[in-house]
Amino acid sequence: MESILRDIVQRYIKESGSVVSILQDTQDRFGYIPHEAISYFSNELNIPESRFFGVATFYSQFYLKPRGKNIITACCGTACHVRGVDKTVSAVKRALELRPDEDTTDDNQFTLEKVACLGFCSIAPVVLVNGEVFGKAAAEKIVRKINSIRKSEDEE
């Protein structure tokens, strides 16, 4: 890990990069931003860790924890809430055997995330599975999709 972080620091210094570009590079390399990386950058560049965390938590594209190979995105905006997305989320959590405080399965195959309105309110509740839009996303429909992903990955 350290050689990758050193490369990112060198590029930052040479190209007068920004904290955002360091975080983007880091996420591109690791899939998320490890805490150790932030500590390393903070020491090497004499920038407080709080600045990295401030930027990383401001932009929703940054992840401070590893994410699963498959991403399930549940819209929790008003229309989806009213149309029962909570029931779908509960069923997905059960199907993935996620504990209440977890969003990624132990095998890193699935991450369940909740977001604000995705802009498809007319077909609420809306859930994305790896970017594929499922409107009127009943729990059974999404759990079936999860099972089909698991099955196809088991066959690989």
Q: Please give the angle made by the CA atoms of 37, 24 and 39, to the nearest 5 degrees.
A: 15
We find the least distance from the C-beta atom of residue 80 to ligand FES, in angstroms, to be 3
What is the token pair recorded at 15? 């190209």
Interface mask (CB under 6 A) for ligand FES, residues 95-124, using x and -?
----------------------xxxxx--x
Measured N-to-C along each axis, helices 2-14 and 35-45 cross at an angle, to the nearest 10 degrees, of 40
136 part of the interface to ligand FES, by CB under 6 A: no
Tell me whether residue 76 or residue 146 sits nearer to ligand FES (CB atom): 76
Choose between 8 and 74: whose C-beta lies nearer to ligand FES. Answer: 74
SS3 36: helix
- Shortest spacing between CB 62 and ligand FES, in angstroms: 23
Structure tokens at 20: 């955002």
49 to 88: interface string for ligand FES, x by CB under 6 A:
--------------------------x-xxxx--------
To ligand FES, the closest distance from the beta carbon of 91 in angstroms equals 17
State the Cα–Cα distance between residues 136 and 134, nearest whole angstrom: 7
What lies within 8 Å, CB to CB, of 3 at 6+ separation is none
* Pairwise CA distance, residues 8 & 47, whole Å: 15
List contacts with ligand FES (CB under 6 A): 75, 77-80, 117-121, 124, 126
